Amino acid sequence: MKIKDILNESIEDMYNPEAATIADQNREYYKEYFESFFQFGDTPVFTEHTNFDDPDAEDWSAKPSTEDIQSAGYRGQQSALEKAGVPFDDNVQDYNPRAYTYDSPA
């Protein structure tokens, strides 16, 4: 096998066909919805929902449940929102260093 054949070969098709399928679907989506951008550089304006709106999708929230340990990122985000004067979650857990060790339970 020549080097150019190796460089042009699609490894994803052989070892991860699901990822290759998703990449093909993305290419088709971009060709359909961003055609004027690729041809003329126009900024696309979406006026209606596309196929990404799933009415059967499960509702979820980024807020952790009260039983779970809140991550430092979540606590920091709420602190930043509070300092900015915008709505935030005021029920944030205190930092507990024992929660992140393996030798003792939280």
Q: Where are the domains of the chain?
A: 3-40, 62-106
Q: The pTM is what?
A: 0.41
pLDDT score of 80: 94
DSSP secondary structure of 8-75: HS-HHHHH-HHHHHHHHHHHHHHHHHSHHHHHH-PPP---S--TT--TTSPP--SSPPTTSPPPHHHH
pLDDT score of 1: 61
- Which residue stretches of the chain have pLDDT < 50? none
pLDDT score of 83: 94
pLDDT score of 81: 94
Cβ atoms of 61 and 78 within 8 Å: the answer is no
What b/e readout covers 25-41, taking b as 16+ CB neighbours within 10 angstroms?
eeeeeeeeeeeeeeeee
pLDDT in tens, 76-94: 999 999 999 999 988 888 8
